[in-house]
Amino acid sequence: MTFCSILFENSEGSIKEETVKALGFFVDLNLDQVIAAITSTKQEYNLEPFFYTPLSQVKAIQYRQEIARDLENETLKKKVDTFAEEMSVVRRYLALVDKLYYQYHKEGWFLEAVQTYCSAVTCLVDDLNHANLQSRGLLAVREYLTNYANSSGFTSLLAEAKKIKAGLSTIKYCVIIKDSTVKVRKYEAEIDYSVEVEKTFEKFKQGAVKDYRLKLAAASGMNHVEAQILNLVAKLHPEIFARLDDFCVQHSHFLDETIRIFDREIQFYIAYLEYISKIKRSGLTFCYPQISQQSKEIYDYDGFDLALAAKCVSENSPIICNDFCLKGQERILVVSGPNQGGKTTFARTFGQLHYLASLGCPVPCVSSSNLSPPGQKIFIENEPTLSISGTIGRSTSRYRRQGDDRGGRRREDSDRLLSGRVEHPRD
């Protein structure tokens, strides 16, 4: 298959415009807390829009479930983490290039960015080729990366970067400093006196001694004197520096766009799996729900509130799990119980399970089915007071008419009860 995205099986299903605002029910379901915790360590990737966009097609959900299953393999996940770390270094180097002032200083860091990028790609190709992949998404990534790594564009980029780096590493020069004058000339096989001095005093060394050498802070950049020295070195070795100039111009946009997008999107899975791994270590279970357009049966066994579970795990408190099941002609769940009996938590769990399933993520329960049927919509838990009054007002009129038909005391009780609810709406 042709690779488009690790989040969307085809371009038609991808996000046309990323949602930057959480959906209205997030606060009611405590999903705002969950998503904030998931993305807190991945800020550079801007993952929130992916968690704000549920999927509506069964195949799209299954596509993500397959990838998440593959990434639960710890060895594979570590390989992807290594790739992500190297790509993060590439971005850091390129950001540094934009901030630097001196030409050869910028070009040196640009060359480092290219080499790090090439290393990240070639290593990931090798790692994926040795991995037992099952998902359509990662198999397509492997095919794409293999073709890309073997392309003439990439191989020439890698070869030229290596040649230039090797050429620069062979340069030796002498700096002559006298008063305020600095001169640079070619190296002429002069003796390295620092090595000779160390050899001379080596025989006087007796065991561990205190190091009196001055510790110089690492420089944050290149000063004007260093930059001028480098310019003079470039004049002594014009050929290799000319190649460096040309290389930076020709490959100014060396990052492959598909790989750049993959580097970001794969973190959707990594971030979620890392988040739930802490909860799984406490003994709680996650599963991949079965999704069907034909079956109306919905069930969940040992489900739990994900936000509450994260809090309880951090406090070493127990978690209460619940089941629910709708089968046959059943379509409605009625939850009753005393105050503080867990009704709201159960309702939040129900909503969380459905929404997380619609993202293609493993959900917090032992087993589940059909949690995210296409066309499903989640409504907020508490309607605004005005809306409640209007709804109850309409109900009052309807039940009053029924009371009139039945007459007498029952009508008075009904009016009194319903009028009280209109004046004092409750959750």
Residue 247 structure tokens:
């290389």
- 133: alpha, beta or left? (left if phi > 0; alpha if psi -120 to 50): beta
105, amino acid identity: H
User: pLDDT for 48-89, tens place per residue?
Assistant: 999 999 998 889 999 999 999 999 999 999 999 999 999 999
- How many other CB atoms are found less than 10 A from the CB of residue 414? 17
Least confident of 56-70, 122-136, 183-197, 408-422: 408-422
Residue 110 has pLDDT above 90, yes or no: yes
Q: What is the mean pLDDT of residues 235-246?
A: 95
Q: What is the dihedral of CA 310, 315, 318, 320, to 10 degrees?
A: -40
pLDDT, position 96: 93
pLDDT of residue 73: 96
C-alpha span between 65 and 410 (Å, rounded): 55
Give the single-character DSSP code of 79. Answer: H
Average pLDDT for 140-156? 97
The C-alpha atoms of residue 332 and residue 313 are separated, in whole angstroms, by 32
pTM over 0.85, yes/no = no
